[in-house]
Amino acid sequence: MAYTAADVKNLRERTGAGMMDCKKALDETGGDIEAAVDALRARGLAAAAKKSSRTAAEGLVGVAVTGTRGVAVEVNSETDFVAKNDQFQDFVRKTTEVALGIAGDDVETLKAAAYPDGGTVGEALTNNVATIGENQQVRRMKTVEVSEGLIVPYMHNAAAPNLGKIGVLVALESSASADALEALGKQIAMHIAAAFPLALNAEDLDPALIERERKIAAEKAAESGKPENVQAKMVDGAIAKYAKENALLSQVFVMDNKTPIQQVVDAAGKEAGAKIVLKDFVRFQLGEGIEKEVSDFAAEVAAAVAG
């Protein structure tokens, strides 16, 4: 598979590796960018990259909460200009409110639900596309709920109330006062926005991600030339470190850079006089996991001239 100058640039931005190292990695992997990232990491030339740093789509994330239930919804548009449109913002806000009443996280069920202004969410979306003149899509939704306690919402760099590019929900189960849970939830939500945990606990991390990290760690260990039993311990240590850094409850709190989140929650519970359980969370970053097609204008012109 061939690669372009844009691919080299993308790889450099994602890994921080030098241009020649990126070109060599792409040569070795036949232009496969994901494999090239792993190759550079195995050589110690790149750190692990969060997928969310590759935000590619435009639009808005909306969050809504009612008591012990909260929901986050992502609606994509083609341009950031549309994301600032009052009609689009109104649609995202109302669709998120509708999602609060949906059982489960199925987008098709949400689109079939009644829209406040008449018709369905899907029909309102179709009308938006026709009147605004740009493709839009309800991409995903996620609901969190507790039997007792509070769901705390947070929007990082909000474009409007409860609308923005990084939406967070923190589910705290407890009989503690709403004020105590609100204060704790806001702090944890800001941590989640900044630290991008991949799961609540290490056990909940995606097995495919763990396997990928294990292969990279095994390559690094093999290059050390140490005995196989030592290499095995190196790999296990690397996986344990990865799990600790990417599971929310074991992450170090960004506000003091030393206390694990679990201890932050436990301390807040003691102060409030009631046990607090961080039951779940949602972190939606606009466009995470979506890759926009990058056009190489110079190459297109050259091809057109040659044609």
Q: What local confidence, expressed as pLDDT, does residue 292 receive?
A: 54
Supply 266's token pair.
């436990």
Helices (H), the chain: 5-15, 19-28, 33-42, 80-83, 86-99, 107-112, 121-132, 178-195, 207-223, 228-246, 261-272, 297-306
Assess whether the region 1-49 and the region 54-199+261-285 belong to the same CATH fold: no
**What is the CB-side half-sphere exposure of residue 75 using CA atoms within 13 A?**
31
| Domain parsing of the chain, residue ranges | 1-49, 54-199+261-285
Instruction: Compare 228 and 252 and report the one with higher pLDDT.
Output: 252
Residue 123's contacts (CB-CB under 8 Å, 6 or more residues apart) are 115
Among candidates 263, 280, 213, which has minimal Cα distance to 48? 213
Encode pLDDT of 216-235 as tens digits: 899 889 988 898 899 999 99
CATH of 54-199+261-285, one of 3.40.190.10, 1.10.287.470, 3.40.50.300, 3.30.479.20: 3.30.479.20
Encode pLDDT of 43-77 as tens digits: 877 765 544 333 337 999 999 999 899 999 999 99
Q: What is the mean pLDDT of residues 265-276?
A: 98
Helix (H, G, I), strand (E, B) or coil at 247: strand
Assigned CATH class of 1-49: mainly alpha
Instruction: Compare 89 and 37 and report the one with higher pLDDT.
Output: 89
Q: Of all residues in the chain, what percent carry a pLDDT higher than 90?
A: 62
Q: Residue 140 — very low, low, confident or very high, per pLDDT cuts 50/70/90?
A: very high
Q: What local confidence, expressed as pLDDT, does residue 16 receive?
A: 79
Q: Average model confidence (pLDDT) for the chain?
A: 89
Contact criterion met (CB below 8 Å) for 34 and 10: no
d(CA 193, CA 93): 20
Q: What local confidence, expressed as pLDDT, does residue 295 receive?
A: 44
